Each structure stands twice: as structure tokens, then as C-alpha cells.
Amino acid sequence: NEGMVENAATQGAYLLDGLKEMKEKYQMIGDVRGLGLFCGIEIVADRETKEYFPTEADLANRITSAFAENGLLLRGGDRMNVAPPLRITRNEVDDLVSIMDKVFDQVSKNIGG
């Protein structure tokens, strides 16, 4: 469906912009990249060295639990994929980014990133 492809491109670019804004806010977000509605987020302990958080930091569980507590079923970890439905709306992208922002704010304060 041509409309869905166009929507995926438009909303994907909008989502990537939102993720890039979060990268500017949180040192723990080492990189974000995307194509269409498929986006990737890299979580690091140190942006300069690209070193990941140590296993004992329990990063994946902390992020996954925080997402779930905020109504978002998304698996956290060192490398995360975000791939919402092709029919996602701009308002839904706003909600998604808002929840992710809240989670990264919470986790970064608790884990130091």
C-alpha cells in the first residue's frame, strides 16, 4: 500500500528526529540511526570509548522494566531496535518518544548516564 509506505517514511523521519533529540539530552545514548520506521539505539556507559555498561548494572532489565511500567512493550539493552507499526500516527510517535524520554531520564539518574 503506497500510503503506508509514505507514512512509514514520514513518521520514521519524525521518530528518528525525536531519538536524536534524546541523544543530545542523555549521555547514555551513544548513537541512534534509522531507516523508515526501523530505528536503532545504542546505550553506552562512555560515549568516547563506546564502552557498554557492565553486566552488574543490569541495564537491560532496568530499561525493559521502566518501559513496561510506562505502558511500552520494548526490550531494553545495549542495542535496542524500535520498529513501530507502519500505520503509526504522528501523535503515537509523540507518545512513544515521550515515554522513551521519561524512561531514559529515570534510568540515567539511577545508573549514572
Low-confidence ranges of the chain (pLDDT < 50): none
| pLDDT given at position 68 | 97
CA distance 76 to 107: 11
Query: For residue 15, what are the CA distances in angstroms to 5, 40, 68, 69, 76?
Result: 15, 11, 20, 21, 17
pLDDT in tens, 36-64: 999 999 999 999 999 999 999 999 999 99
| pLDDT given at position 112 | 62
Q: Model pTM?
A: 0.91
CA distance 50 to 86: 31
| pLDDT given at position 76 | 94
